[in-house]
Amino acid sequence: MKIVILSDLHGNFDALSSLPERHYDELWVLGDLVNYGPQPVEVVDFVRSRATIVVSGNHDLAVGFGQDPRCSPPFREMAAEMQKVSESLLNEEQKGYLQTLSLSSRFTRKGTTFYVCHAIPSDPLYGYCESASDRWIEECDKVAPDFLLVGHTHVPFVRKIGNCTVVNPGSLGQPKTGGPHACYAVWENGIVTLCTYVYPVEWTVSKIRALPIPVKVQSDLIAVLETGLVPQIS
């Protein structure tokens, strides 16, 4: 059984439509379909039509209900400006879909137990936990699956903790890996592979430049996409 695992798409349809995986049994999405990117409508519609498992991210909740996504300081202005754009582009049905997404899900495939959420089980929307943190021990003990699948940090990793394997596929739409390549993961018969690929970032950049947002926000969004780095606060 082959499962493609995506997270943090962030309205980047150029990255999503360039996904090299064309043949798989299921597609799972670990939240943050929207915000930051210029095409939330296309991303939401793609996920609705193709994904088997989808959980909510902090930006999905924010756009769906008009709430604060509680971003870190370098991203607050970008998130606020792009949330206005996302809310204006999505129709009520699409926002309603975001509102219905669960915070977590536990299920079994081929005798393997999975627990999926956007951030961490104890704080599924906002908890920020880096790969080397000892907190993962507690989080794994809390839900005790064979595989704990998470996103939110935009940095991919696989870490074995006892009988639990924690997997973060990284971000498809806004990677923070020091480069522009989109990230995702594949689970196939118990083996996890972290993957990256090149997509036409310049197409996304041109769409961001056409948005009715401040030039500084445009520049910051583009810099994150092109460099894969967190912007400095000036």
Q: Is 172 exposed, middle or buried (0-12, 13-18, 19+ CB in 10 A)?
A: buried
pLDDT at 234: 58
pLDDT at 41: 98
Residues of the chain below pLDDT 50: none
What gap in Å lies between CA 11 and CA 1, rounded to an integer?
28
pLDDT at 231: 80
CATH fold for the domain made of 2-227: Purple Acid Phosphatase; chain A, domain 2 (3.60.21)
DSSP 74: G
Average pLDDT, the chain: 97
Q: Which of 21, 26, 27, 2 is nearest to 188 (CA)?
A: 2
Extract the tokens encoding 207.
């769409």
Q: Does the global pTM surpass 0.85? A: yes
Q: Which of 170, 177, 231 is nearest to 195 (CA)?
A: 170
Q: Which of 190, 182, 186, 143 is nearest to 28 (CA)?
A: 186
Contact 30, 57 (CB under 8 A): yes
